[in-house]
Amino acid sequence: MFENDAVILFQGDSITDCGRSRLRNNGLGSGYVRMIAGALKKAAPDAGIRVLNRGISGNRAIDLVERWQKDCIDLQPDYLSILIGVNDTWRAFDSNDYTADVTFKARCRTILEETLKKTQAKIILLSPFLLDVNEKVTKMREDLSGKQRAVGELAQEYAAKWLDLDAVFAQACTTAPPTEFSLDGVHPTAKGHALIAAEWLKAWDVHLTAEV
């Protein structure tokens, strides 16, 4: 379990955002962040753990770089969770706006360096993922694989935790169709979010049930 009064910050794109409030810190959206917060609150109601969601729909790594001071450093988290990368791939397919793997990795490195220099946060990096619901989505793997590899390499380089969500979903899809976890291959269903939440908690050796 996390220590009393710990601040846990979640960063990323729409998968993290998931309709969160821009006005209230406790408006965590309807996805995996809310599920994690609920599990922690239920397990330790008096621990004073604060969960913050600063995911923004549509964000790419460059967007995190540009808002990192306000949306991370100024918040001084004790724990930081980052899930980014699928939009760096998606924009290459829907807008012809390509982000090279080396550029993506450099941008992620920038936010990691800033975090380690200016906070005491323990970091977990979540691999961007796709679920193979159709050929169009599967084709995006040609680009996403380099981003996934970059996240794994950075986790190793900076001794951060790494949660390979693509592998998690691939394993889950051996016993259920991918559409149970995501209808469009990118945005999780409630069941998909619950799986992320459960694996995130497990990565910190917190064995709790995340409720949908």
Residues labelled catalytic: 14, 184, 187
Decide: helix, strand or coil at residue 201.
helix
CA distance linking residue 182 with residue 50, whole number of Å: 28
Q: What is the 3-state secondary structure (H, E, C) of 42-81?
A: HHCCCCCCEEEECCCCCCCHHHHHHHHHHHCHHHCCCEEE
Q: What are phi and psi of 163, to 5 degrees?
A: -115, 110
Q: What is the dihedral of CA 103, 109, 111, 112, to 10 degrees?
A: 160
Tell me the torsion sign for CA atoms 80, 106, 73, 188.
Answer: negative
Structure tokens given for 183 = 């209808």
What's the half-sphere exposure (Cβ side, CA atoms, 13 Å) at 129? 30
Structure tokens given for 14 = 């729409």
Sheet strands side by side (includes 161-163): 50-53, 7-12, 79-83, 122-126, 161-163
CA distance linking residue 144 with residue 165, whole number of Å: 13
